[in-house]
Each structure stands twice: as C-alpha cells, then as structure tokens.
C-alpha cells in the first residue's frame, strides 16, 4: 500500500501517447518520409557511378550538366523532406508537452498524498521535458533510419557481392555494439536515476530547513552530506557516460575502417577487372550511409534510454491516477457530516495511524478534537478532507461519500487550514480566492472579514494585491495563518476543518478565530477543530478525544471535558509526583 497509487479494477488503461489522437499515424507518416529520404540519400552514390562510368568516359559536358542538375534537384528534395520530418517531430514533441504537462503537474500535486517526496513528484514534470527534447533531437531520426539500412546493403551487394558481404559484416558489428550499449547502460540507468532523486531530495530538504541549519551552525555537515550524495551521482553518471562514449568512439573508428576497407577492396576488384572506378566511390558512399544511423543511435543511446524511462514512468502514473467519471453533479451539502469507522494509514510507510474513527455532526455544530501528540488528530483531519486516502470506512456529506464528487467540485464545499501553513507565490487576494479566475471581490472581502484579517491586509504595502513571495515569506507565521484561515472560509464552505489553527496566533488572532467558528455555525456550516490550546475550543459544542490512533471519546464538550478532568485527577492520585529530596 505504501508509496503506491491505487489502480481501479476494470478501468481502461491510458498511456501518455494515447492522449494524442492519431499519434501512430504521425509516426507511420514519418517512417514513410524516412523511407523516401533514405532512397534519395542514394543520389550521391548514383551520381558518382554515372560521373565516373559515363560522363568521364564519354567526355560529354551535356551529360555532366544533366546529371549534376538532376542530382541537385534530388538533394534539394531530400533536404526538404529531412527538414520536414525534423519539424514534424519538434511540433509533435510540443503538442505532446501541451497535452501531457498539465496531467503531469496534476500527478506532481497528487503524488505527495501517497508518500512520494517532492523531488520524486517533480520528476514527472521533467519526464515530459525529456520526451519533448528527445523528439526534437537526433535520436528519433536515427531510429527511423535504422529500418532502411538493408536498402544500402542491397545496393552495395548489387555493385559486387564481396562489397555487400563486407558492409553487412560491418553493420552486424555496429549493431552488436548498439545492443551492448543497451545492456551496459541498462545496468546503471536505474541506479543513476535513484542517485539523482536522492541528491534532489537533499537539496529540497536543506532549502526547507535553511534557517535552522544556518542558526545552529551545522551547514558544514549538511554540505558534506550533499557532497557525498553528489559524488555518488557523479560516479554513476561518469560510468554511464564512459560506456556510451567508449562504444561511440569504437563505432566511429570501425565505420572509418570499413569505409577504407570498402575502398581498398573496391580498388582490388577494379584492378582485377570485376568493378568499375565509379562503383568504388558509389560503394564507399553507400556503405557510409548504411552505417550512419547505427553510429548515431549509439551516440544518442543515453537520450533514448532517458526518454524510454520517462515514458514508462508517465505511463505508470497517468494510468494509476485516473478521474472517476461524475456524470451527475451532486447538490451543495447542507445537512450533515458522517464519519463511518474510517481507518487511515501514513502513505509514506503504510503504518496505520488512525483506526475505526466514527462520529456524526449536524449543520450548525462544531467539534473540537484533542489528544496527545502523535495520537492521530492531524491524520483524522487529512482523512476528512480526502487528502490521505482511506483504507476502510466512509466520510459522507449529506449521505454521499466524498468519492462521489469530482475533486474540484468537492473543494468548493470544504475549507481546510493545515497544521503547516504554506501560501502560494501569488497576491493576498489570489491566495484567499484559491486562484479562482475573475474572482468576486466581495467574496474575498467577506472571507477576510470572517477571518478577522481585513484590517491586517489593508495595512500591507499594496493591500489585497500584495505579492507574498514563495511560501508566503512576506508575512509572519501568525499573519500567514490568518490569511490561510480566510482562504479556508472563502465562498462559505459547508465543512471547515482547522488543524491547530491558533498555533501562531496572539490574543487578537485567537479572538478572531473564535468569532470565525461561531460565524460558520451561524450560517449552518460544520467545523472540525484540531487543537492543543483550550482557547481554540471556546466556540465548539462537541468534543472528541483521539488517543493511540483511536477516537477514545466523542460527545458534548462540557461532558467530555469533565470526564477528562476526572481521569486526570485519578491518574495524579494513583501516581503522585515524587517529593523533592531534602
């Protein structure tokens, strides 16, 4: 379960390329163009053959001019088609990026919910870049040219069987080198990918903890840790590059040796009277063209492997994370929240953190959730919002399970303030309205006033249009929490879930929080507040106690508080504090 994205049985599998209609037809068209390009590439061989065997022997200038004009026309046609297929591939890559980049970014957003690190999630976006860059490079051209290699071998064999056999032997050797390149690079590519992700994870972690690292003086140890990971990555990268570079160099040398060998054998056959002078040059040109795609494929193999792995990762993740069709849009919830024996596990390692939690709230009620640290309070909040998937049980709004809503539709009815507040690199108003295009300013103002943060915002340099920078660093921790509360209250959501909403608030902020909770209850919304500090419970009427991964108690606030006070008193009597030594 851990770090895996559940696949729905019976769902139609999708692949990245299936998102673009007619992709196979495009590849077939490029393959046919490649065939024409490779036939036209024999122009040089035929030209040399005719020049040496016809024009020079006949001393005919008109024949020379006619052959030259025909060759120029064929060369121009070949160049035009070659440029066309390159441009088609570039545009195909851009179209692929246009179609898949938003899907990959959605995967990037969803993957952390299932226990993946930020660098692992961001890798899906880079996978799209890798495929686009590969399609715009020389790798695909080499792969499209490879199937036409027998055309040149047949031409050389037609000139003389011995030359054909020699060229075929050279092509076989280079093909063997290509297969060897695949085998040797495959051995290191997975390790190299993992090393790159580990290095990126360290960079991300150190950037997130930059203040702590600098203040407590262990930046040197952090840098040393990164240097070790970087060294491992460079070592694997060097090995992979050495393999491709060495085999690419060998292939180039063998290609030049083969060209010279074809010339030498052709000269011998000419001396023996079995070949013409023009055939020597034609055979050399054709042999070089036959081996060029193999040589290019070896030199581009690193990019081929990278593109193939990127495609495989995209296929896996885009297949796993699919939209469930929602043909019927459910009405706005307005009556109840029912939690039916839900069990939630930490996505990172699959450990069950909360088991069999069940309670019910009606419109206009607010519940506080208390308990020791690590007991499962924040896990309950994530389960209620659907941020973490449920192993068992259901969360229902007006009897409908959360999965019956499309995620974006459900989000309109839920307000969520997480324990770790992170604002977007956008303006205050864009953060409050959740990036809604053409948002109603009156709704933004109403959310800010409901959170008691309007006066704070208008005192900012540009008011509601103040840019907050990455993670909202332009504001203090308390200010960020209050703006995030306004975001949670935007557009009057039915269910508002607040996880430690007063952890960074002063007395004024706590008073505003209490009024915000009363405000949600007054409009017949439901509030769930996870809290350590009792001041956050002033506006709730129900209370739940989460201990050791279970909802140990749930009921009216005053009744549960009395039970907790009595239990604490009994514990003190049973286990009195030790008296200090005299």
Average pLDDT, whole number, for the chain?
Answer: 82
How much of the chain exceeds pLDDT 70, in percent?
89
Token duo for residue 389: 């998937």
Q: Give the distance from CA 36 to its chain's centroid.
A: 38
Q: How far apart are CA 124 and CA 114, in angstroms?
A: 15
67 pLDDT more than 60: yes
The DSSP line for 414-434 is: EEEE-SS----SSBHHHHHTT
Q: What is the Cα gyration radius of the chain?
A: 35
- Cβ–Cβ under 8 Å, residues 121 and 112: yes
Query: Which helix H or strand E contains 197, and what residues bound it?
Result: helix 161-208
- pLDDT of 138 > 90? The answer is no
Q: pLDDT digit string (tens) for 495-543?
A: 999 998 888 888 888 888 899 999 999 999 999 999 877 777 888 999 9
Please, are residues 495 and 337 in contact by the beta-carbon 8 Å criterion?
A: yes
In 3D, which of 71, 78, 74, 47 has the Cα closest to residue 282? Answer: 47
Neighbours of 462 (CB within 10 A): 10
pLDDT at 211: 64
d(CA 417, CA 76): 64
Q: Which of 21, 295, 309, 51 is nearest to 173 (CA)?
A: 295
The torsion angle over the Cα atoms of residues 516, 522, 527 and 532, rounded to 10 degrees, is 50
Q: Does pLDDT of 328 surpass 80?
A: no
pLDDT of residue 414: 92
**pLDDT tens track for 352-402:** 889 999 999 999 999 999 988 888 888 999 999 888 888 899 999 999 998
Among 564, 537, 548, which Cα is nearest to 357's?
548
3-class DSSP state of 377 = helix
Predicted local confidence at residue 397, as pLDDT: 93
Which domains does the chain possess?
16-320 (1.20.1560.10), 336-573 (3.40.50.300)
What does the pLDDT look like over 251-265, one tens digit per residue?
778 878 887 888 888
Taking alpha carbons only, the member of 155, 168, 145, 178 closest to residue 293 is 145
pLDDT interval class at 72 (50, 70, 90): very high
Q: How confident is the model at residue 458 (pLDDT cuts 50, 70, 90)?
A: very high
Residue 52 gets which letter from DSSP?
I
- What pLDDT was estimated at residue 408? 79
For range 286-313, the mean pLDDT:
80
Instruction: Report the DSSP beta bridge partners of residue 580.
Output: none
**Rounded to whole angstroms, how far apart are CA atoms 511 and 102?**
41
B/e letters for 479-499, b = 16+ CB within 10 Å, e = fewer, are bbbbbbbbbbbbbbbbbbbbb
């Amino acid at each position: 379960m851990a770090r895996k994205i559940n696949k729905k049985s019976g769902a139609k599998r999708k692949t990245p390329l299936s998102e673009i209609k007619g992709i196979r037809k495009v590849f077939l068209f490029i393959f046919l163009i490649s065939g024409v390009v490779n036939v036209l590439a024999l122009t040089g061989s035929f030209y040399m053959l005719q020049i040496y065997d016809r024009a020079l022997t006949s001393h005919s200038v008109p024949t020379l001019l006619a052959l030259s004009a025909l060759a120029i026309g064929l060369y121009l046609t070949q160049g035009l088609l070659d440029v066309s297929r390159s441009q088609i591939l570039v545009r195909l890559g851009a179209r692929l990026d246009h179609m898949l980049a938003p899907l990959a970014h959605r995967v990037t957003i969803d993957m952390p919910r299932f226990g993946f690190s930020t660098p692992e999630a961001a890798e899906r976006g880079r996978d799209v870049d890798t495929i686009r860059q590969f399609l715009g490079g020389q790798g695909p051209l080499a792969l499209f040219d490879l199937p036409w290699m027998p055309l040149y071998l047949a031409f050389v064999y037609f000139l003389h069987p011995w030359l054909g056999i020699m060229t075929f032997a050279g092509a076989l050797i280079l093909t063997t080198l290509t297969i060897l390149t695949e085998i040797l690079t495959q051995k290191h590519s997975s390790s190299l990918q993992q090393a790159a992700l580990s290095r990126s994870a360290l960079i991300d972690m150190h950037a997130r903890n930059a203040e702590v690292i600098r203040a407590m003086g262990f930046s040197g140890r952090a840098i040393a840790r990164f240097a070790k990971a970087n060294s491992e990555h460079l070592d694997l990268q060097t090995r992979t590059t050495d393999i491709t570079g060495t085999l690419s160099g060998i292939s180039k040398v063998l290609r030049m040796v083969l060209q010279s060998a074809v010339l030498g054998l052709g000269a011998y056959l000419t001396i023996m009277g079995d070949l013409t002078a023009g055939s020597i040059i034609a055979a050399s040109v054709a042999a070089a063209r036959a081996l060029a795609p193999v040589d290019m494929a070896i030199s581009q193999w690193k990019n081929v492997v990278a593109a193939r792995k990127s495609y495989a990762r995209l296929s896996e993740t885009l297949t796993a994370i699919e939209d469930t069709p929602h043909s019927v849009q459910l009405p706005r919830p307005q009556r109840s929240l029912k939690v039916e024996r839900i069990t939630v596990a930490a996505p990172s390692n699959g450990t069950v953190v909360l088991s069999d939690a069940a309670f019910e709230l009606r419109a206009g009620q607010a519940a506080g959730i208390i308990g020791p640290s690590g007991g499962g309070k924040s896990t309950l909040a994530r389960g209620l919002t659907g941020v973490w998937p449920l192993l068992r049980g259901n969360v229902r709004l007006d009897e409908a399970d959360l999965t019956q809503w499309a995620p974006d539709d459900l989000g309109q009815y839920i307000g969520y303030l997480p324990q770790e507040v992170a604002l977007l690199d956008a303006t205050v108003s864009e953060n409050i309205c959740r990036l809604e295009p053409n948002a109603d300013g009156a709704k933004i103002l109403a959310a800010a006033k409901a959170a008691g943060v309007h006066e704070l915002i208008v005192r900012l340099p540009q008011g509601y249009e103040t840019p907050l920078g990455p993670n909202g660093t332009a504001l203090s921790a308390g200010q960020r929490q209050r703006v995030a509360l306004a975001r949670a209250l935007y557009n009057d959501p039915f269910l508002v879930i607040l996880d430690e909403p007063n952890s960074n608030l002063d007395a004024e902020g706590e008073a505003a929080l209490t009024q915000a909770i009363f405000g949600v209850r007054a409009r017949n919304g439901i509030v769930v507040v996870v809290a350590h500090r009792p001041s956050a419970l002033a506006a709730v009427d129900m209370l739940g106690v989460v201990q050791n991964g279970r909802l140990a108690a749930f009921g009216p606030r005053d009744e549960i508080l009395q039970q907790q006070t009595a239990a604490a008193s009994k514990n003190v009597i049973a286990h009195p504090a030790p008296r200090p030594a005299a």
